[in-house]
Structure 1
Amino acid sequence: MEKAEEWITYGLDLIKEFGPKLVTAIIIYIIGMWVIKRVVRGTRTVMSKSKYDESLQKFLLNLFSWALKIFLVIIVISRLGVDVTTFAAVIAAAGLAVGLALQGSLSNFAGGVLLMIFKPYKIGDLIEAQGVLGVVKGIEIFTTKLVTPQNKLAIVPNGAMANGNIINYTAEGKMRVDTVIGVGYGEDIKKTKEVLLKVLTSNPKVLEDPAPSVNVMELADSSVNFAVRPFCKPEDYWDVYFNTYENCKLALDAAGIEIPYPHQVEIHKDA
Structure 2
Amino acid sequence: MEGLYEEAGAYWPLLINVLQALVFLIVGWVVASAASGLVRRRVERSPRIDDTIGGFFASMVKWLILAVVLIAVLQLFGFQATSLVAVLGAATLAIGLALQGTLSDLAAGVMLMAFRPYRIGQYVDIDGTAGTVKDFNLFMTELVTPDNVQIIMPNGKAWGAVITNFSAHATRRLDLTFNIDYDDDADKAMKMITDLAGKDERVHDDPAPWVRLVNLGESSVDLGVRLWCSAADYWDLKFDMTKRVKEAFDKGGVTIPYPHSVEIQKKAS
- TM-score norm. by structure 1 comes to 0.85
Decide which moves more: 159-168 or 106-115: 159-168
Question: 1:157 maps to which residue?
Answer: 154
User: Secondary structure of 2:153's match?
Assistant: strand
Contact 2:105 2:155 in 1 (8 A): yes
Contact 1:36 1:69 in 2 (8 A): yes
Question: 2:63 maps to which residue?
Answer: 66
Decide which moves more: 230-239 or 135-144: 230-239
Q: Distance in 2 between matches of 1:34 and 1:154?
A: 27
Question: 1:36 maps to which residue?
Answer: 32
Q: Distance in 2 between matches of 1:45 and 1:149?
A: 26
User: Secondary structure of 1:206's match?
Assistant: coil
CA distance change for structure 1 residues 49 and 207 in 2, over 3 Å: closer, same or farther?
Answer: same
Q: Distance in 1 between matches of 2:256 and 2:23?
A: 77
**AA partner of residue 21 (structure 1):** N
User: Secondary structure of 2:224's match?
Assistant: strand
**AA partner of residue 136 (structure 2):** I
Decide which moves more: 34-43 or 153-162: 34-43
Instruction: Note the aligned Cα RMSD (angstroms).
Output: 2.6
Give the counterpart of 2:204 among 197, 204, 207: 207
Contact 1:77 1:84 in 2 (8 A): no
Number of aligned residue pairs: give it: 263
- TM-score norm. by structure 2 comes to 0.86
Question: 1:269 maps to which residue?
Answer: none
**AA partner of residue 58 (structure 2):** L
User: Secondary structure of 2:148's match?
Assistant: coil
**AA partner of residue 145 (structure 1):** E
How far did 1:222 drift?
Answer: 1.2
Match status 1:170 vs 2:129 = no
Q: Distance in 1 between matches of 2:144 and 2:87?
A: 41
How far did 1:106 drift?
Answer: 1.5
Give the counterpart of 2:89 among 92, 96, 104: 92
Match status 1:54 vs 2:54 = no
**AA partner of residue 69 (structure 2):** L
Question: 1:185 maps to which residue?
Answer: 182
Q: Distance in 1 between matches of 2:194 and 2:47?
A: 46
CA distance change for structure 1 residues 127 and 210 in 2, over 3 Å: closer, same or farther?
Answer: farther
Q: Could you report, residue by residue, the CA deviation over 1:237-261 in whole angstroms, capped at 9, with x for unpaired residues?
A: 2222222222211110011111112
Q: Could you report, residue by residue, the CA deviation over 1:162-204 in whole angstroms, capped at 9, with x for unpaired residues?
A: 2332222222211112221100011111110011122223333
How far did 1:67 drift?
Answer: 0.8
Decide which moves more: 58-67 or 133-142: 133-142
Q: Distance in 1 between matches of 2:28 and 2:95?
A: 27
How far did 1:146 drift?
Answer: 1.9
Decide which moves more: 48-57 or 170-179: 48-57
**AA partner of residue 258 (structure 2):** Y
CA distance change for structure 1 residues 150 and 213 in 2, over 3 Å: closer, same or farther?
Answer: farther
Question: 2:125 maps to which residue?
Answer: 128
Q: Distance in 2 between matches of 1:138 and 1:225?
A: 43
Q: Distance in 1 between matches of 2:232 and 2:101?
A: 34
How far did 1:84 drift?
Answer: 4.3
**AA partner of residue 40 (structure 1):** S
How far did 1:14 drift?
Answer: 0.7
Contact 1:174 1:234 in 2 (8 A): yes
Q: Could you report, residue by residue, the CA deviation over 1:4-55 in whole angstroms, capped at 9, with x for unpaired residues?
A: x74554123211x223333333343444444434443444454443732110
**AA partner of residue 26 (structure 1):** L
User: Secondary structure of 1:260's match?
Assistant: coil
Contact 1:108 1:159 in 2 (8 A): yes
How far did 1:102 drift?
Answer: 2.1
Question: 1:217 maps to which residue?
Answer: 214
Question: 1:75-90, aligned counterparts within 5 Å?
Answer: 75-90=72-87
Question: 2:102 maps to which residue?
Answer: 105
Contact 2:219 2:260 in 1 (8 A): no
